[in-house]
Homo-oligomer: A and B are copies of this chain.
Amino acid sequence: MKRLKLIALFLFSALTLQVSAQQKKYAMVIHGGAGTILKKNMSPEMEAAYIAVLTQALQAGYAQIKAGKTSMDAVEATIHVMENDPHFNAGKGAVFTHDGKNELDAAIMDGKTLMAGSVAGVTTIKNPISAARAVMEKSEHVMMVGAGAEQFAKEVGLEIVDPKYFWTKERWNGLQKAIKEDSTKAVLDHGSKKSELLGSKNHDYKFGTVGCVALDKAGNLAAGTSTGGMTNKKYGRVGDAPIIGAGTYCNNETAGISCTGWGEFYIRNVVAKTISDLMEYKSLSVAEASKIVLDKVGKMGGDGGLIALDKNGNVAMPFNTEGMYRGTITTDGKIEVSIYK
């Protein structure tokens, strides 16, 4: 009798677990950047604005999936919302380079075919994520940079804007502040050339990248990332976002991953592909693999976060900063959005 009870209990638990796993099956995960995001520094209006746009971004992608479109369509639709919203460091609202320009990077990857596309250092393409997708679908290349990438985007009919479109007052003020802080620092360094070459040391100038991973009804994953890079960046610096394997990677056999943070550390650790490899070669879960690689970044002195969604709809959203704008939507449409730890 006792044994029967135990079996019944086991069956009940298994059933509960299965139901809870079903409830927790995620269709999409997004991030809007990691950094020193503290509740005490956030006005209620600002907080509400972030939550609203993160929700809207998730809804835009989910509508695609619900309509039977691909995860690629969902990723592109979601990132459009964030690129078009000035709150994020991607598309409109991108940070300024030292020369007062907005240089944008983006990448997208299809987990089914392992096809990928990316653009870096573009200044006239309204939605860089769509340019990345066009590179993937309409050229034989994976990566295009600068004026060449812009020319390509124009030829394939993407929306081209005057670079002024990307200008926002907040980011412009951010640049002025960064330049002032850096020049103060240079004086303190006795005018050594090195600090100038090293660029800004304020980590938070690096953050605000957006990203999305989606799993569609056919079981296909896609991942995308879009960013304006780093405030006051110089010398045509490119971060991890447009580097396949570093800031963006996707494979139906493992997971889709999009990173945000101090890009140089993400490139050196080839973060996104390493997470996928830990899943493939060590049979780790998406959460375990993500944690191990982010810990490596942290130990080296890098900070940031990432989102990952595996082929079974399990999600991971680790970060080692104060906060990360992030959100998920489950396959039954339940949205959760968070900002702080």
Residues of A within 8 A of B (CB): 114-116, 120-121, 138-149, 151-152, 155-156, 193-194, 197-199, 234-239, 243-246, 249, 263-264, 267-270, 273-274, 277-278, 281-282, 300
**Chain B, Cβ-Cβ closest to A194:** B138
Would you call B199 and A149 a contact (CB within 8 A)?
no
Q: Which among B151, B244, B249 is the interface contact of A243 at CB below 8 angstroms? A: B244
C-alpha gap A152/B156 in the complex (Å): 33
A139 and B199 contact, Cβ closer than 8 Å, known pairs A145-B146, A281-B282, A300-B114: yes
Would you call A199 and B140 a contact (CB within 8 A)?
yes
CB contacts (< 8 Å) of A114 on chain B: these are 268-269, 300
Would you call A197 and B149 a contact (CB within 8 A)?
no
Would you call B267 and A147 a contact (CB within 8 A)?
no
CB contacts (< 8 Å) of A116 on chain B: these are 267-268
Would you call A151 and B244 a contact (CB within 8 A)?
no
Q: Which among B139, B143, B246 is the interface contact of A245 at CB below 8 angstroms? A: B246
Can you pick out 22 interface pairs between chain A and chain B where the beta carbons lie within 8 Å of each other? Answer: A116-B268, A121-B148, A140-B198, A142-B264, A143-B239, A143-B267, A144-B236, A144-B238, A148-B234, A148-B237, A151-B236, A152-B236, A155-B197, A243-B245, A244-B270, A245-B246, A245-B267, A245-B273, A270-B270, A277-B277, A281-B281, A281-B282
C-alpha gap A115/B235 in the complex (Å): 18
C-alpha gap A269/B245 in the complex (Å): 8
Would you call B141 and A264 a contact (CB within 8 A)?
yes
Q: Which among B120, B139, B155 is the interface contact of A145 at CB below 8 angstroms? A: B120
C-alpha gap A260/B72 in the complex (Å): 30
> Nearest Cβ distance between residue A269 and chain B, in whole angstroms?
7
Total copies of the chain: 2
Would you call A249 and B270 a contact (CB within 8 A)?
yes
CB contacts (< 8 Å) of A249 on chain B: these are 270
C-alpha gap A278/B274 in the complex (Å): 10
> Nearest Cβ distance between residue A279 and chain B, in whole angstroms?
10
Q: Which among B120, B138, B194, B197 is the interface contact of A197 at CB below 8 angstroms? A: B138
Would you call B152 and A235 a contact (CB within 8 A)?
yes
A236 and B278 contact, Cβ closer than 8 Å, known pairs A115-B268, A269-B114, A273-B273: no
C-alpha gap A327/B105 in the complex (Å): 38
**Chain B, Cβ-Cβ closest to A230:** B141
7 nearest interchain CB pairs? A148-B236, A245-B270, A277-B277, A148-B235, A281-B281, A152-B235, A270-B273
C-alpha gap A180/B169 in the complex (Å): 50
Of A120, A141, A281, chain B has the most CB atoms within 10 Å of the CB of A141
C-alpha gap A188/B193 in the complex (Å): 56
Q: Which among B151, B277, B300 is the interface contact of A281 at CB below 8 angstroms? A: B277
C-alpha gap A4/B235 in the complex (Å): 70
CB contacts (< 8 Å) of A263 on chain B: these are 142
> Nearest Cβ distance between residue A340 and chain B, in whole angstroms?
28
> Nearest Cβ distance between residue A86 and chain B, in whole angstroms?
25
CB contacts (< 8 Å) of A146 on chain B: these are 121, 145-146, 236
A198 and B235 contact, Cβ closer than 8 Å, known pairs A243-B245, A246-B244: no
